Chains A and B, each alone.
Chain A
């Protein structure tokens, strides 16, 4: 079946602009995660959704970052007033459940964000 998909695959934006990144998880996966991969920081967790609620937002680096999930499916990560340090690859992953298990997280191909 279809894997996790993300769009756009690449995004170049000017400093100060807002961007929206989209994630379509694997159908039936209730848990959805956002991570960020950058050269200096490696792979960092941003936020976790179980259904439409986000019990763990601890990785969001500032209040410029927000995310939502609707219908227990698609998620959007929004970065307001982008800064150059936001440049990174943003990865989305989904799995069957969260919290008390070790189900595999399936990763999407990522969105490469470049802030100029």
Chain B
């Protein structure tokens, strides 16, 4: 079945550091890929998405590129801020059904 694997956390960075959160997937067919974010005390919200190979999703300074050859969708940001502290989930959705399959999530803490 479909699955998403995220790097182990938590991750703690200093403000303005470079961020990479790894995500790889296994899926039947050609999935759409997503990063969701859950800020403290808030609900889950979509951060960015990519629907086909080589697409790059971007939002709020975050980027992720859909790499079919390595089945990856790593999240990057050049300079993190304290306000980026949150839990980040990688997810996929295939055409066969509509459910989102999530990775375990990773907690990012950014210190001033």
Contact = CB atoms under 8 A, between A and B. Distances in A.
A31 B97 CA distance: 12
B45 A48 contact: no
Contacts of B49: 102, 104
Given A56-B97, A102-B32, A102-B93, A42 B102 contact: yes
> Helix, strand, loop or mixed for chain A's interface?
strand
Contacts of A2: none
Given A43-B89, A102-B32, A108-B43, A59 B99 contact: yes
Contact of B98 (A35, A42, A98, A108): A98
A33 interface: yes
Contacts, number: 54
B98 A31 contact: yes
A105 B43 contact: no
A91 B97 contact: no
B29 to A, nearest CB: 11
A109 interface: yes
A107 B45 contact: yes
Interface of A: 31, 33, 35, 42-45, 48, 50, 55-56, 59, 91, 93, 95, 98-100, 102, 104-105, 107-110
Closest 8 CB pairs of A and B: A98-B98, A102-B32, A43-B102, A45-B99, A107-B44, A42-B104, A109-B43, A107-B43
